[in-house]
Amino acid sequence: GLVTTKEMFQKAYEGGYAIGAFNVNNMEIVQGITEAAGALCSPVILQVSKGARAYANHTYLVKLVEAALIENDIPMALHLDHGPDFATCKACIDGGFTSVMIDGSQYDFDKNAELTRQVVEYAHEKGVVVEGELGKLAGVEDDVKVEASDAMYTHPDQVQEFVERTGVDSLAIAIGTSHGAFKFKPGQKPQLRFDILEEITKRLPDFPIVLHGASSVSQEYVKIIQQNGGELADAIGIPEDMLRRAAKSAVCKINIDSDLRLAMTAGVRQVMAQKPSAFDPREYLKAGRANVKELVAHKIVNVLGSDQKA
């Protein structure tokens, strides 16, 4: 059956690699990810956001992941991504997930800690692990200058108290990544605050850290999308060498969603453009699924280093 992330993270920490946490919301994405992980004997985390749950329905997602587990004999965890409140976390804990994130990062420290502690208490009773978050990820939509957003980064002085007070099993931090396909302004040099990560690691030795907003925004897929009618000017992600560095550190979970969306969209657009007569969904979804599989295989081997670790 599905496993928690406990053993995955312990091995990843000791082995100097990271587990990919990929967002899923339909069958083709689940298949593309798990076929790649299965072929490479890599553990994998499939994660579901509130929006994905609203789109695909909780039961469909759980059953799709259970099917993927029957088809691929690898350690797999089913995780709630950015759980917004206790009720959503509880629904996932009660409904077959093995891991949940409670994202209290928009609240002040005390409220975040209290909400997180409440979820941990319930989750641990049921054998489910919990990811918390300290610090705020910069969002392009927030229109904040990344350089001026020092206040958004995780404060290393707070992490120990947060983990002790809440009992979380892993911690998401903010060191300069952001969600979406537009992580840096054109001309701006991509940068992550590895110094903050190091400070956090000193205060939380042997504790698994999570990196959100970690898509690389492959320019190959951006180009295919643009050449086939898509609009994606100035899409920029996190350079792969930075992610490799993170994977070797205390970062045990690397979250990837935007790259999957780009891969899927590139495949679908290519078929649509090259074959205007295509109207069988299998034709274009097959191309999207193949791209997802290729992308995830690339991540596992060249970025995460989780191949042959199952």
Provide the mask over 224-263, with x wherever binding to ligand G3H is found by CB under 6 A and - wherever it is not: ---------------------------------x------
How far lies 238's CA from each of 18, 77, 169, 264, in Å? 16, 25, 26, 19
Q: How far is the CB of 108 from Zn ion (least distance, A)?
A: 20
Q: Does 49 bind ligand G3H (CB under 6 A)?
A: yes
Q: What angle do CA 63, 133, 94 make, to 5 degrees?
A: 30
Of 177 and 271, the one with the shorter C-beta distance to ligand 13P is: 177
Stretch that binds ligand 13P, among 106-114, 206-214, 225-233, 288-296 (CB under 6 A): 206-214
- Burial per residue of 222-237, b for 16 or more beta-carbon CB atoms within 10 angstroms, e otherwise: bebbbebebebeebbb
Total chain residues near Zn ion (CB under 5 A) = 1
Non-local CB neighbours of 49 within 8 Å, separated by 6+ positions: 23, 25, 80, 81, 82, 257
Structure tokens at 115: 């909400």
> Cα-flanking dihedrals φ and ψ of residue 54, to 5°?
-70, -35
- Phi, psi (degrees; rounded to nearest 5) at 254: -120, 120
Pick out residues in 224-283 that bind ligand 13P (CB under 6 A).
255-259
SS3 state of residue 75: coil
In the complex with ligand 13P, the residue whose CB is nearer, 115 or 172, is 172
51: partner contacted, choices Zn ion, ligand 13P, ligand G3H, none (Cβ within 5-8 A by kind): ligand G3H
Residue ranges of alpha helices (H) inside the chain are 6-15, 27-39, 50-56, 58-71, 86-94, 109-125, 156-166, 194-203, 219-227, 240-248, 258-274, 281-299
| Binding residue (CB under 6 A) for ligand 13P from 96, 167, 180, 190 | 180
Residue 265 near which of ligand G3H, Zn ion, ligand 13P, none (CB within 5-8 Å, type-dependent): none
- SS3 assignment, position 307: coil
Closest to Zn ion by CB, 140 vs 273, is: 140
Mask 11-50, x = binds ligand 13P (CB under 6 A)?
Answer: ------------x---------------------------
| Size of interface with ligand 13P, in residues (CB under 6 A) | 14
Q: Which of 156, 213, 230, 288 binds ligand 13P (CB under 6 A)?
A: 213
For residue 11, what are the CA distances in angstroms to 14, 23, 250?
5, 22, 11
Q: How far is the CB of 137 from ligand G3H (least distance, A)?
A: 8
Minimal CA–CA distance to 305: which of 260, 249, 221? 249
Contacts of residue 117, Cβ cutoff 8 Å, sequence gap at least 6: 165, 166, 167
Q: Is 212 in the site for Zn ion (CB under 5 A)?
A: yes
Nearer to ligand 13P, 68 or 243 (CB): 243
* Beta carbon of residue 23, minimum distance to ligand G3H (angstroms, whole number): 5
Q: Cβ of residue 275: shortest distance to ligand 13P, in angstroms? A: 29
Q: Which positions lie near ligand 13P, rule CB under 6 A? A: 23, 81-82, 179-180, 212-215, 255-259
Q: Which positions lie near ligand G3H, rule CB under 6 A? A: 23, 49, 51-52, 81-82, 179, 257
Q: Which positions lie near Zn ion, rule CB under 5 A? A: 212
The residues assigned a catalytic role are 81
